[in-house]
Structure 1
């Protein structure tokens, strides 16, 4: 089985903190390449630049003669409201590309691993007043490998919280990947509240997630991208109140043509 690649960024304070904690707790050793460390079914690479712009991950792996199944980015989470949180999310842009990636382009989501990480976080963290949730698909980098972000937010106090760091470590190394039916989530706010709640109560995996704010200009092509870049996608989990009528019509058209399921919540 191919390993997962963990990516840390020296330009991201939370990423550095997560990296230091993981290296303290997990027995990584140098691989044949001086740019990659390895441990069990994981490899690890550290970059100077922010993850958002690491469009060269595949070339980096090829240059170092290693392969990986998927990529997990260790990152800080930003919130205007300064909410304490631990989140996971897929990558890509539904319209513009203000934070890396390419406009109107999604990357391959990693439903089995990302969903397993969120389950672990929810089941094992008892930290004070942290919100644990999915986020909608957003930002770069642009790559052709399955990937997701795991983030701690939003200040240095949270980035250095040992309990938060431990549960993130566990959500990566001790997660239990389950081959449940996989869906694209659509509708609701950026943190996909109803979809996160439904996910936690049901045996499913989630890939790309399309929030309400992206639906003003959503196209059939973008919805199809979300389906095609969610491996094993069976259909949609739709927050009906959080999904505009135009998008509901597109969903029905696509589902009828592709024989996909729509689960309305």
Structure 2
């Protein structure tokens, strides 16, 4: 990473889960005061920058460009500590990329983002997921918390690779300090530890797979399992609701499903230069005509559609 390129950590001052993660991270490292940016507090540690925003994150578009315009520093990636809301009410710790690839092109989503224009997924997603699975059992204070990836959803829009790291899923746990401390340690080690590979460390190796998943529910069980494997890197994950099909008798299905797939793959390629993109599809989530349409479109894109068994064989160097 060049001297003028920084990693931006965007903290939401109106969100206790975001604030707690930011405060814990500031306690873990020695931060210097940075001149206010757009009138809002900021801090620096080595190539890390923490920026406190006043009210929400989902509509804070172009944060990377805005930081560069204000400071002259290029932003290589953005991390969003946040809360996670869910009707289940279950305590949870989650990670996910952002975007609304299925909405009409350029249309702003109800929770931010622009249709068909997903930011690149942060290449750290899979390594942080593995780290979360490893660390959480060592922290008794988060015993009982669900651990999960979430599919690609909501805003904001930016050009730098991004991820959200969240404490869920109601007011009862948003302020959980033990959860915030664990995620702050994960951010610290995930960004600074020399023992955790980045994509630039391994992209020349031939045994790495970059995964895009299609179909299934919001909590990405397929991605949860596959991204836990060594040498699997994670791109965008599209739930069934992000692949809208309209059946056309005797013709190609309409809807924005094709746009969503194109956006997910194009955006993932930006995040993983020289990476081998493969797709895993939840077959049970699709009707037969939908599966066939996806297969044919991926053939046009020349992106392999692999089963879990085929992915594992490829990782082992024993392609079927």
- How big is the shift at 1:160? 3.4
In structure 2, the residue matched to 1:19 is 22
1:214 to 207, 217, 242: 242
Cα distance change of structure 1 residues 30 and 250 upon mapping to structure 2, 3 Å threshold: farther
2:233 is equivalent to residue 205 of structure 1 = yes
In structure 1, the residue matched to 2:31 is 28
In structure 2, the residue matched to 1:131 is 146
Cα distance change of structure 1 residues 246 and 225 upon mapping to structure 2, 3 Å threshold: farther
**Matches of 1:172 and 1:7, distance apart in 2:** 12
Contact between 1:8 and 1:46, CA under 8 Å: does it hold in 2?
yes
2:182 is equivalent to residue 167 of structure 1 = yes
Contact between 1:115 and 1:206, CA under 8 Å: does it hold in 2?
yes
- How big is the shift at 1:68? 1.7
**Matches of 2:94 and 2:68, distance apart in 1:** 26
In structure 2, the residue matched to 1:122 is 133
2:114 is equivalent to residue 108 of structure 1 = no
**Matches of 2:222 and 2:52, distance apart in 1:** 35
Contact between 1:120 and 1:170, CA under 8 Å: does it hold in 2?
no
- How big is the shift at 1:3? 2.7
TM-score, normalised via structure 1 length: 0.91
2:3 is equivalent to residue 9 of structure 1 = no
2:284 is equivalent to residue 241 of structure 1 = yes
TM-score, normalised via structure 2 length: 0.76
**Matches of 1:237 and 1:184, distance apart in 2:** 6
Equivalent residue of 2:299, what SS?
A: helix
In structure 1, the residue matched to 2:61 is 55
**Matches of 1:136 and 1:202, distance apart in 2:** 20
Paired residues, number: 264
Unaligned runs of 5+ in 2: 191-195, 200-207, 246-255, 309-320
- How big is the shift at 1:9? 0.7
Cα distance change of structure 1 residues 75 and 246 upon mapping to structure 2, 3 Å threshold: farther
Instruction: Map Cα deviations across residues 5-57 of structure 1 (whole Å, 9 max, x no partner).
Output: 10001121211111121112221112355643111331111110211010131
RMSD: 2.0
2:299 is equivalent to residue 256 of structure 1 = yes
Unaligned runs of 5+ in 1: none
2:72 to 60, 65, 69: 65
Equivalent residue of 2:297, what SS?
A: helix
Contact between 1:237 and 1:262, CA under 8 Å: does it hold in 2?
yes
In structure 2, the residue matched to 1:189 is 217
Comparing 41-50 with 248-257, which one deviates more in the overlay? Answer: 248-257
Instruction: Map Cα deviations across residues 195-249 of structure 1 (whole Å, 9 max, x no partner).
Output: 2112213420111110122223342122011000003351212222234434423
**Matches of 1:190 and 1:243, distance apart in 2:** 15
In structure 2, the residue matched to 1:37 is 43
Equivalent residue of 2:298, what SS?
A: helix
Comparing 160-169 with 90-99, which one deviates more in the overlay? Answer: 160-169
- How big is the shift at 1:182? 1.0
Higher Cα Rg: structure 1 or 2? 2
